[in-house]
Amino acid sequence: MAKSEIPQYRRKYPRRTFYKSVGVLFAGSYRACETTEIGEGGLAFQYPAELAVGSPIVVSFQLPGGSFFSVQSLVRNSDVKIFDKKNRVFTIGCSFENVNVHFKRELRNFVAQR
């Protein structure tokens, strides 16, 4: 197969680098975490434990110069990053669920500002 024929993976929504604090509510426990990227469909953040794919969570964050949002989400992936035998962190990807038009519009505008 020629290099030009290799199928390219494309995300449904574009993402933007986003290094900010986000609050994560999981199983009745709230924790402040650092995000790595955000898009209209969801975000990725660092978490000290693995979260099962499909787990419901609530993420809370404020867009720079924008509104504060608290959004029901689902865990879509969980990848471990090991720094040494004692320290490991997981990159959690989540998708936003049941978001309103105002949220989508503001998030789309933020991502488009790249």
Q: In the predicted model, is pLDDT for residue 84 greater than 80?
A: no
Task: Count the Cβ atoms, other than its own, within 10 Å of residue 59.
Answer: 23
Q: In the predicted model, is pLDDT for residue 9 greater than 80?
A: no
Asked if 50 and 18 count as a contact pair (C-beta separation under 8 A), the reply is no
Whole domain around residue 26: which residue ranges? 14-112
CATH of the domain at 51: 2.40.10.220
In a domain, 4, yes or no: no
In a domain, 84, yes or no: yes
Nearest to 104 by CA among 54, 40, 51, 58: 40
CA distance 100 to 46: 25
Count how many domains the chain has: 1
Nearest to 110 by CA among 18, 11, 12, 10: 18
What is the pTM for the complete model shown? 0.82
Question: Per DSSP, which regions of 1-113 are E strands?
Answer: 15-17, 21-26, 29-39, 42-47, 56-62, 68-82, 88-96
In a domain, 8, yes or no: no
Query: How confident is the model at residue 1, as a pLDDT?
Result: 46
In a domain, 98, yes or no: yes
What are residue 61's DSSP bridge partners? Answer: 69
Q: In the predicted model, is pLDDT for residue 40 greater than 80?
A: yes
In a domain, 6, yes or no: no
In a domain, 2, yes or no: no
What are residue 24's DSSP bridge partners? Answer: 31, 59
Q: In the predicted model, is pLDDT for residue 29 greater than 90?
A: yes
Lowest-confidence region among 37-51, 81-95, 96-110: 81-95
Torsional sign, CA 10, 77, 90, 108: positive
